[in-house]
Amino acid sequence: MDIQYEVLIIGSGPGGMTAAIYASRAGLNTAILESSAPGGKLVKTHLVENYPSYDSITGVDLAMKMHTHSLAFGANYLYGDVVKVDKIEGGFIVHSATGETFTSKVVISATGTVERQLGLTNEDKLLGKGVSYCAVCDGAFYRDEHVVVIGGGNSALEESIYLTQFAKKVTIVMRRDVFRADKAAQDNVKRNPKIEILQHYIPKQFLLDELGKVSGIKIQHTNTNETIDLEAKAVFPYIGADPASSYLSHLGITDEEGFVLVNQEMETGIPGLYAIGDMNSKTLRQIVTATGDGSIAAQNAFKFLHS
């Protein structure tokens, strides 16, 4: 079988785009394969304030700058929703949902994570009807309304701040009384008069109006089991994420949760197959760690191809 590329990068988040820069600058025939818009979670992030060289930049702006840079040295940008990667003689074959296939000597997986759902009844059916996992995408639809954010991590707090520019009130519902977010995010939330924090509560049921849209959410106290009905036009869950690695599950390179196991060189247990960014088993998932992973994987891909 003819091999189309030397390096095929699956996913165009910060890690994937950095890998494309390094691989194409090294003179490798490189392509990025993406199923959506470039940028990954960057395009769902309002402001980025911890990426070196930018005191503050919108996620979309940073994503577009990275995207332009990632193609500056000749990398190709392809569209495809990957469903499986197989090892073949001389490389890999990548299968897309449409039946199209791509072949490459090296594959760098960079598909990140997907937002974790609350697990409540009809959650999937209510997407776009008051349930959203992207404040940047949908916040403007709820101008002058009350909205609820579920979670206590950085994403929950940062997106709550973003939502206050539209909503008249934002209620943060969290299971514990300790935030997982950094102190700067906590301070921003605590001094915002539009934000209310309810601790020791968990979501139990979506409340619906006569049109089948979200009208609120029932929450339950974790100690007393008391329930409260919160009237709200939208619910934004930010309770973590799961690895987007199902297309690799048959290869035996993931842990029990689906996160990919790699060494410090970003190598999986299969020679020529690398994984980077949030989909890896790691302790810190940030833009800077993803870009670092991407540079390491691309450099090692170059060494692998020339060894």
Helices (H), the chain: 14-25, 59-70, 135-138, 154-163, 183-190, 287-305
Residue 272: predicted pLDDT = 98
Please list the ranges in the chain whose pLDDT falls under 50.
Answer: none
Q: What is each CA distance from 91 to 6, 25, 31, 265, 277, in whole angstroms?
A: 9, 21, 15, 19, 22
Q: Which amino acid is at 236?
A: F
Query: For the residues of 202-248, what is the DSSP string, one character each?
Result: EEEEEEE-TTS-EEEEEEEETTT--EEEEE-SEEEE-S-EEE--GGG
Query: Which part of the chain has CATH 3.50.50.60?
Result: 5-115+241-305, 135-237
Tell me, yes or no, if 182 is annotated catalytic: no
**Would you state the structure tokens that stand for residue 288, as one six-digit string?**
């800077």
Q: Which CATH class is domain 5-115+241-305?
A: alpha beta
Q: Which CATH class is domain 135-237?
A: alpha beta
Contacts of 4 (CB under 8 A, 6+ apart): 31, 102, 103, 104
For CA atoms 132, 134, 139, 141, the dihedral sign is negative
Q: Which amino acid is at 169?
A: K
Tell me, yes or no, if 134 is annotated catalytic: yes
Which one of 137, 182, 229, 255 is the catalytic residue? 137
3-class secondary structure, 150 = strand
For residue 277, give the DSSP letter.
G
Which one of 81, 86, 124, 138 is the catalytic residue? 138
Tell me, yes or no, if 229 is annotated catalytic: no
Residue 1: predicted pLDDT = 63
The C-alpha angle 216, 221, 227, rounded to 5 degrees, equals: 45
Residue 47: predicted pLDDT = 84
Give the count of beta carbons closer than 10 Å to the beta carbon of residue 40. 29
Which residue, among 231, 215, 238, 227, has the nearest Cα to 134 in the 3D structure?
Answer: 238
Distance CA 71, CA 178 (A): 43
Q: Which amino acid is at 290?
A: A
170-197 per-position pLDDT tens digit: 999 999 999 999 999 999 999 999 999 9
14-66 per-position pLDDT tens digit: 999 999 999 999 999 999 999 999 999 899 888 888 899 999 999 999 999 99
Which one of 61, 81, 134, 242 is the catalytic residue? 134
